[in-house]
Structure 1
Amino acid sequence: MLACTRLALLGLVLLCQGIEENSGGDSCDNFTDLNLSHCFLGTSLYVRLLLYTRVNPACGRELHHQRFPSEPLFNLSRPTAFVIHGYRPTGAPPVWIDHLVRLLAEQRDVNVIVVDWNRGAANLNYLTAVAYTREAAHNLTGFIRSMQEEGASLDSMHLIGVSLGAHLAGFVGANLKGKIGRITGLDPAGPLFTSATPDERLDPSDAMFVDVLHTDMDSFGLRGAHGHIDFYANGGADQPGCPKTIFAGKSYFVCDHQRSMFLYLCALNGTCSLTAYPCASYADFLDGRCLQCEAFKPASCPQLGYDVIQWRESLLKLGQTKAFFSTTASHPYTKLNYRVDMVTWNQYLRWGVVYIRLHSGRNVTEARIDHKLLRFEQFTSTRLLAQFDEDLPHVHKISLRINTGNVIGPRYKIRLLRIRLTPLERPQRPLMCRFDIFMEENTEVAFRPLSCDSRL
């Protein structure tokens, strides 16, 4: 209900802003460019298929559903990636289309087909767009079957669906009995799908491999797990850097939902290395309980993006897997994670939060482990996850503070028999240790890290 209300408010915001689109005038076949008048009056479904390859990464060629074999650039022996957009309440072409097409073409020699169903998706009435997804899926299914008759292989096809387009991709996969090679769902749409059965939405049976990214589960995105692997950025709901109040305008409604595409583009571009940690919940991940991936082949934690397919064998054996990661507020989004192991020997039980700073020359980055109060008592081993916004390769000093919130009365001593920092995404770097540290609560102590084989 909340998401549907926000959808209605978003339509009013965009209407007031009067967003209009520019029309293309070159010889390329461009994505259908509509405006608010089309959306207000309503559009009927019409599906166009625009082909891009490494030869024409910036100039689409429209494929006719029956006469496509005559297109010289369309090589059916190559893998094919289908890009399927979602609901378009203004009729505007998605801002990310060109970027995604180019990056997909750079990954490998593929046919990239943009499934342009803007006539149908562009309706102020969201229910109408939802109803058209089945018909658009039937249309695309027919085209893929025609490709198959001409010699194309279903297992070489990859459908990338965004929001409502993720469910459309799922319907296509179901029509083809799950024989499509791969479906990627980027924040599958939540409104009208929250109570849907598996055959009414994207689910793991729709393709041989289904990977899903969640960024807005509390509004426009869909809660739960719907792939062989589901990635949850920052827990899958509120994203850092996105506005928290309606006074931010359009961004308040779409920022969390759009973050799924920006994270995926960043991963494809190679500027982000977004390692995710399989875990039961985001809370367990933040508690440092899920920081090992020995069960996976390759023996490392899966990474968001095109190459997650290399973990397919392990994921299919394990069943549905949830994987969590945290990001920064802006590009390149990557946080550097350290596993922090501490052994305390303080006389009195203390509760608090931990702040760790890494120093490299004049550069400093801080991790705040403050999502809950931590327990520090005599001869207790504690494991923490410290997440830093910057990657400092040469750390010469570490600062540590345990804040108990005690502002009156005596300050108690805390003794650490050992602290060890293990860089999780940089296994080639040495572990950093320090032994027998005395500190006061709420007071920062600084020390030089030592080799974990050393002793003071």
Structure 2
Amino acid sequence: KQNGKILFVKNVFLIFKHMLLRGQDNECDKITNLDFRETFIGTSPDVRLLLYTTTHNFSREPLFNVTQPTNFVIHGYRPTGAPPVWIDHITHLLVAQANMNILVVDWNRGAANLNYFTTVANTRYTATNITGFIQRMRDEGASLDSIHLIGVSLGAHVAGYIGAMLGGRVGRITGLDPAGPMFTGVPPEECLNPSDAQFVDVLHTDMNSFGLRGTYGHIDFYANGGLDQPGCPKTIFSGRSYFVCDHQRFGFLYLCALNHTCSITAYSDFLSGQCLQCEAFKPASCPVLVYDLSQWRNTLLKLSQTRVYFSTTAEPPYRSDYRVGIITWNLYLRWGVVTIYLHSGKNVTESRIDHKLLRFEKYTATRLLAQFDEELYPIQKISLRIATGNVIGPRYNIWLLLIQSIQITLHSSFFPRPLMWQYNIIMEENAEVTFQRLPCDGSCL
């Protein structure tokens, strides 16, 4: 296989020298693939390891070098018995990050069971096996500081158990949408928590269904609030995708981050548009969903547990956000909801900013975050509507001195510099007004 060689290890308690085999004649193996009959009957738990490394000259170097950093990738519940489709993608992207060992934990014979309760029970068995293997690695000279456990769904709790058994001394645990069923409301020692490793980072995409609601790391990333993901079905009539789409989005986002094709910045005060105010992280910038979080790690450890949020579109590169500033000069106080429309030819995308009623008063600047489900280019004009909810009384005017798109936060070659508009106009409430783009120099900022 390109970028690495796979070594099959039958049982993690085999003599450690089996991980030091040399040569290119070792048979490649893949993660266990079970059929529906086996998952229906049930399987006995069994744990295997698949090794990917960046070593190419196998005839001169051992396949497994305990002095290098080692990442364990741990999949979750597999009700159909099929291997995760993302395994090959994540391993090849991980070996591209740095010189390291990648060990895929194949516990499919414990995870593939229609009885979810049995699978949950098997997480402890799996964690015990992997813990024993890591202890043997340590005996052979490995450092726990260089161990990174990446757990997916139910695998995130397996990673937490391993970390707890090792006294929280492993270097890092990454939990990708930790499983929620049977883990909601349990004591910290029963699920992934910050004490399980020196540093724990968590990504949430489905907290209202298969994912776990709450804060479980030193930093928790909440994609689209950690709930419903753009592009996922909204009704049960969509079949299986309705149930799994939100939960599976963690994989696409993490792979995109590993591949450096997305630049997903997260903010503490996200929906209110306070995107530039990451005071706690100065001199570094706001946290970004990336593999290497080292520049924020020390700050996050001092802050204990930090929640950060970001929005995405339905498709890569997953970002199309604008920070929008509005200065109102109207004499009387108005409350309302803003909807912004972007136009590119016949294509239109809109953002309704309705997470709270906005306050518009004289000489007041309001900063908003407009999130769009579609990326349009080039943006030829914009429309704006301020809805006050006033349907029976007279419509009042709102004097907007300045509307400006301060900065587009999408990392794309299409947008080499911020896009800005400037206006001075009186508009009627509840009525959509379309603006053509006007010149705007640096004074707009």
TM-score, normalised by the number of residues in structure 1: 0.83
- Judge conservation of contact 1:431–1:452 (CA < 8 Å) in 2: no
Match of 2:297 among 289, 305, 312: 312
Deviation at 1:242, TM superposition (A): 1.2
Match of 1:192 among 182, 185, 193: 182
Alignment of 1:368-447 (within 5 A): 368-389=352-373, 397-406=381-390, 410-423=394-407, 425=409, 429-430=417-418, 432=420, 434=422, 436-441=424-429, 442-447=431-436
Alignment of 1:167-182 (within 5 A): 167-182=157-172
- Tell me the alpha carbon deviations over residues 207-265 of structure 1, each in whole angstroms, 9 at most, x when there is no partner: 11100001111111111100000000111111111112222221111111111111111
Matched, 1:275 2:265: yes
1:29 maps to 29
Provide the C-alpha distance between the structure 2 equivalents of 1:127 and 1:366, rounded to a whole number of angstroms: 43
- Judge conservation of contact 2:29–2:50 (CA < 8 Å) in 1: yes
Match of 1:209 among 176, 192, 199: 199
Long gaps (5+) in structure 2 = 1-25
- Judge conservation of contact 2:263–2:410 (CA < 8 Å) in 1: no
- Tell me the alpha carbon deviations over residues 151-174 of structure 1, each in whole angstroms, 9 at most, x when there is no partner: 111111110000110000001011
Deviation at 1:355, TM superposition (A): 2.8
- Judge conservation of contact 2:404–2:444 (CA < 8 Å) in 1: no
35 and 298 in structure 1: CA distance in 2 versus 1, 3 angstrom threshold? farther
1:138 maps to 128
Matched, 1:248 2:232: no
Provide the C-alpha distance between the structure 2 equivalents of 1:195 and 1:411, rounded to a whole number of angstroms: 49
Structure 1 window deviating more from structure 2 (317-326 vs 424-433): it is 424-433
143 and 71 in structure 1: CA distance in 2 versus 1, 3 angstrom threshold? farther
Provide the C-alpha distance between the structure 2 equivalents of 1:212 and 1:384, rounded to a whole number of angstroms: 27
Match of 2:74 among 58, 80, 84: 84
- Tell me the alpha carbon deviations over residues 51-91 of structure 1, each in whole angstroms, 9 at most, x when there is no partner: 012357xxxx9xxxxxxxx9921111221110001111111
Match of 2:153 among 155, 163, 167: 163
Structure 1 window deviating more from structure 2 (429-438 vs 269-278): it is 429-438
SS in 2 for 1:72: coil
- Tell me the alpha carbon deviations over residues 107-131 of structure 1, each in whole angstroms, 9 at most, x when there is no partner: 1121110000111111111111111
Deviation at 1:344, TM superposition (A): 1.1
* Number of matched pairs: 412
1:96 maps to 86
2:278 maps to 293
453 and 394 in structure 1: CA distance in 2 versus 1, 3 angstrom threshold? farther
Structure 1 window deviating more from structure 2 (46-55 vs 376-385): it is 376-385
2:220 maps to 230
- Judge conservation of contact 1:141–1:172 (CA < 8 Å) in 2: yes
Aligned residue identity for 2:293 = V
Deviation at 1:43, TM superposition (A): 0.8
Deviation at 1:430, TM superposition (A): 4.9
Deviation at 1:379, TM superposition (A): 3.1
Deviation at 1:433, TM superposition (A): 5.3
167 and 286 in structure 1: CA distance in 2 versus 1, 3 angstrom threshold? same
Provide the C-alpha distance between the structure 2 equivalents of 1:178 and 1:209, rounded to a whole number of angstroms: 9
- Judge conservation of contact 1:357–1:400 (CA < 8 Å) in 2: yes
Provide the C-alpha distance between the structure 2 equivalents of 1:365 and 1:449, rounded to a whole number of angstroms: 23
Provide the C-alpha distance between the structure 2 equivalents of 1:37 and 1:387, rounded to a whole number of angstroms: 45
- Tell me the alpha carbon deviations over residues 393-447 of structure 1, each in whole angstroms, 9 at most, x when there is no partner: 8766544332345556644221122333321637983573525322222131414
- Tell me the alpha carbon deviations over residues 258-290 of structure 1, each in whole angstroms, 9 at most, x when there is no partner: 1111111111112221111124xxxxx323346
- Judge conservation of contact 1:32–1:116 (CA < 8 Å) in 2: yes
- Judge conservation of contact 1:344–1:376 (CA < 8 Å) in 2: yes
Structure 1 window deviating more from structure 2 (432-441 vs 157-166): it is 432-441
Structure 1 window deviating more from structure 2 (212-221 vs 409-418): it is 409-418
Provide the C-alpha distance between the structure 1 equivalents of 2:208 and 2:375, rounded to a whole number of angstroms: 31
- Judge conservation of contact 1:297–1:311 (CA < 8 Å) in 2: no
Provide the C-alpha distance between the structure 1 equivalents of 2:255 and 2:399, rounded to a whole number of angstroms: 46
Identity over aligned pairs, percent: 67
454 and 136 in structure 1: CA distance in 2 versus 1, 3 angstrom threshold? closer
Deviation at 1:352, TM superposition (A): 2.7
Provide the C-alpha distance between the structure 1 equivalents of 2:240 and 2:370, rounded to a whole number of angstroms: 33
414 and 205 in structure 1: CA distance in 2 versus 1, 3 angstrom threshold? same
Deviation at 1:48, TM superposition (A): 0.2
Provide the C-alpha distance between the structure 2 equivalents of 1:445 and 1:408, rounded to a whole number of angstroms: 24
Q: What root-mean-square deviation, in Å, do the aligned CA atoms of Structure 1 and Structure 2 show?
A: 2.7
Match of 2:310 among 325, 339, 363: 325
